[in-house]
Amino acid sequence: MLEISALSHFYGKHQALAEIALDIASGEIVAILGANGAGKSTLLKMIAGLIKPAPGLTLRFEGADIAELPAHLIVERGIALVPEGRGIFGELTVAENLQLGAYPARARASEADRLAKVLALFPRLTERMTQAVRTMSGGEQQMVAIGRALMSNPTLLLLDEPSLGLSPLLSREVFRALKQIRESGVSVLLVEQNARASLDIADRVYLIESGRNAGSGSAGEMKNNPDIQRAYLGKARAPSSPSQP
Ligand SMILES: Nc1ncnc2c1ncn2[C@@H]1O[C@H](COP(=O)(O)OP(=O)(O)O)[C@@H](O)[C@H]1O
Ligand SMILES: [Mg+2]
């Protein structure tokens, strides 16, 4: 459903992404692993239309070129981003944040139905609907952020480090929710530092190092790859990274 090739990005002179290629089939959970600064957030922002890509790339969603579309039209195509740091409105209530997610035209007709689905996914939000989001725990705020993205009726959900800073218990709840989201027919592209939990729920995995593709494969293959075990699963000391040509 999503096809990317030759995607590059410069922040001034600094090349954050170099000729990235990636694809996602309908119904997949795809995880992107990579160290801090590898370019993961930049990649998600480009897919979501928040950063303009350098020319010459392929960025297609469900067969259509979306490289030139502004962010709000990408949401209308069915791609929703849960950004790093969640991007929710702390002074607003849970209900208000969720309502904002239903603003896109593609979501308005089904708002009540979608709200019921979000509350089924995260039952603990039900009794918090009138609470200001800033007074909630990090895990609950992440649920609001994911819920808000789902309110836009996406077919592809992008998540930037959803488990960052969460307790192990709430992290597990977030990963469980992602599996349920996929079961409901929404494809998932997940950027994570928690490699173990990502490999457990993902179908396929891409590695990104210094803005470049550094490997990809099924989650099963990746789990058994000694380099991945060293670098991402803490099975032994990670080697210093080899310089890229
Ligand atoms: N707005 C920005 N201006 C300049 N450099 C940036 C900006 N955002 C990110 N970078 C740089 O681009 C690289 C990739 O960043 P990012 O995509 O946030 O990586 P990741 O999400 O993998 O940690 C890093 O070297 C980072 O310092
Ligand atoms: Mg990031």
| pLDDT tens for each residue of 109-129 | 889 999 999 999 999 999 999
Is a pLDDT exceeding 90 seen at residue 135?
A: yes
Instruction: Give the atom of ligand 1 at the shortest distance from the alpha carbon of 17.
Output: 14
The closest ligand to the CA of 43 turns out to be 1
Instruction: Give the atom of ligand 1 at the shortest distance from the alpha carbon of 45.
Output: 17
Our answer on whether the CB atom of 13 is closer than 6 Å to any ligand 1 atom is no
Cα(130) to centroid of ligand 2, in Å?
31
The model's pLDDT over 140-165, given as tens digits with 9 standing for 90+, comes to 999 999 999 999 999 999 999 999 98
Closest CA to 244 of 205, 206, 214, 207: 214
Domain ranges of the chain: 79-154
Question: How far is the C-alpha of 52 from the C-alpha of 133, rounded, in Å?
Answer: 31
Closest CA to 25 of 203, 235, 225: 203
Which of 8, 9, 14 is the pocket-test mutation for ligand 1 (most atoms within 8 Å of CB)?
Answer: 14
Closest CA to 21 of 219, 232, 215, 244: 215
Other Cβ atoms closer than 10 A to 65: 12
Give whole-number Cα distances, 134 to 126, 131, 184, in Å.
Answer: 16, 9, 29
Question: How far is the C-alpha of 205 from the C-alpha of 222, rounded, in Å?
Answer: 7
Give yes or no for a contact between 119 and 83, defined as CB atoms under 8 angstroms apart.
no
Which of 32, 41, 45, 82 is the pocket-test mutation for ligand 1 (most atoms within 8 Å of CB)?
Answer: 41
Q: Which two tokens stand for residue 89?
A: 């409105």
Query: So what's the pLDDT on residue 245?
Result: 54
Give yes or no for a contact between 7 and 13, defined as CB atoms under 8 angstroms apart.
no
Our answer on whether the CB atom of 11 is closer than 6 Å to any ligand 1 atom is yes
Mean pLDDT, the chain, whole residue set: 92
SS (H, E, C) the chain: CEEEEEEEEEECCEEEEEEEEEEECCCCEEEEECCCCCCHHHHHHHHCCCCCCCCCCEEEECCEECCCCCHHHHHHHCEEEECCCCCCCCCCEHHHHHHHHCCCHHHHCCHHHHHHHHHHHCHHHHHHCCCEHHHCCHHHHHHHHHHHHHHCCCCEEEEECCCCCCCHHHHHHHHHHHHHHHHCCCEEEEEECCHHHHHHHCCEEEEEECCEEEEEEEHHHHHCCHHHHHHHCCCCCCCCCCCCC
Instruction: Give the pTM.
Output: 0.93
**Which residue has 């039209």 as its token pair?**
73
Cα(87) to centroid of ligand 2, in Å?
13
Our answer on whether the CB atom of 10 is closer than 6 Å to any ligand 1 atom is no
Closest residue to atom 7 of ligand 1, CA basis: 11
Q: Which two tokens stand for residue 107?
A: 């979501």
Cα(173) to centroid of ligand 2, in Å?
21
| Residues with Cβ within 8 Å of residue 68, at least 6 apart in sequence | none
Cα(158) to centroid of ligand 2, in Å?
12
Is a pLDDT exceeding 90 seen at residue 53?
A: no
The model's pLDDT over 10-47, given as tens digits with 9 standing for 90+, comes to 999 999 999 999 999 999 999 999 999 999 999 999 99
Q: Which two tokens stand for residue 149?
A: 């993205």
Give whole-number Cα distances, 19 to 10, 22, 57, in Å.
Answer: 11, 10, 8
The model's pLDDT over 62-99, given as tens digits with 9 standing for 90+, comes to 999 999 999 999 999 999 999 998 889 999 999 999 99
Our answer on whether the CB atom of 34 is closer than 6 Å to any ligand 1 atom is yes
Cα(43) to centroid of ligand 2, in Å?
9
